[in-house]
Amino acid sequence: MPGTGAGGGWTDGEAQVGGVRLHWIEAGTGAPVVLLHGFPEFGYAWRHQLPALAAAGFRAVAPDMRGYNLSDKPAGYRNYTVQHLAGDVVGLVRALGAERVHLVGHDWGGVVAWYVAMHHPEVVDRLVVINAPHPGVFRREIRRPDQFLRSWYVGFFQLPQVPEWAIRRKDYALLERIFRYDTVRPGAFTDADIRRYKEAAARPGALTAMLSYYRALRIPRPEPVPVRAPTLLIWGMRDQALSEGNTQGLEEWVPDLRVERIPDSSHWVMSDVPERTNELLAGFLRST
């Protein structure tokens, strides 16, 4: 079953959070680290990081975000605004019995992590974002031809029904192509990994819920404010969807910022360079 602890060296948990039931996998004990995945993955995205963070003395928790895999999938794209998604994270922190956590996010999980750190700073100790643009900086970058062209899929995913058909056709061939050919390291995603992602996307209501993150972009979002938490931005430089410009000019928004650019990684940093990712996470989160 995708996302369960069977054979993965982690355990499963779940809680009712803000009207939805969230499922997660976790490993280790110690200071809590919440790891937020992106599209089209789920908590399993952090399979390489969970044991490493546990070994480093942390309680690593990787939820299936709302709409994904074993978590609830409320109908309607209005249930997938960043306000809802950030609220889920705050609720999860409380469900874990914590006041504050280290927060790590990749892709859509990184976008949500930015908003949590900006608008719910009381729950964030340290912040790590991996290949996810800061909302304020992305407003600048999307006006530039390079990033505008790279973001073509965002508009496509907002169309009704067509994206679901395109992703499902030929046994989710689009997902398989992403995981096999958009990475730098050959075999970064194994056959078993890809099968898990396909099975998770095929769950009733899952694919539409996953695409609802993009469709909810039509709804106004909170304005960016400065991030107070110490922040590490990790960026795979061979990202096909996001330009390097998203790593520049963040000082206005993130005063306490460190940027690590990884030349031999694609968008899928945690799978392309898992050892380097683990080293950066453990080192930064251990800092005081």
What pLDDT score does 3 carry? 44
Is the pLDDT score of 217 beyond 50? yes
Active site residue 119: no
pLDDT at 203: 98
Among 107, 125, 239, 272, the one annotated catalytic: 107
Tokens 């859509």 locate to: 108
Tell me the per-residue pLDDT of 23-48, one tens digit each, with 9 for 90 and over: 999 999 999 999 999 999 999 999 99
**Separation between Cα atoms, residue 36 and residue 212, nearest integer Å:** 17
Residue of 84, 172, 267, 272 with catalytic role: 267
CB within 8 Å of 142: residues ≥ 6 apart: 148, 151
Is residue 269 within 8 A of residue 107, CB to CB? The reply is no
- Is residue 267 flagged as an active site residue? yes
How far apart, in whole angstroms, are the C-alpha atoms of residue 234 and residue 247?
9
Comparing 9 with 140, which gets the higher pLDDT? 140
* Whether residue 77 lies in the annotated active site: no
pLDDT at site 2: 46
What domains lie within the chain, and their CATH numbers? 11-286 (3.40.50.1820)
- Region class of 34: left (phi > 0), else alpha (psi between -120 and 50), else beta: beta
E strands in 89-212: 101-106, 124-130
pLDDT at residue 169, rounded to an integer = 97
Q: From the candidates 44, 80, 197, 214, which is the catalytic residue?
A: 214
Please indicate, yes or no, whether the overall pTM of this predicted structure exceeds 0.85. Answer: yes
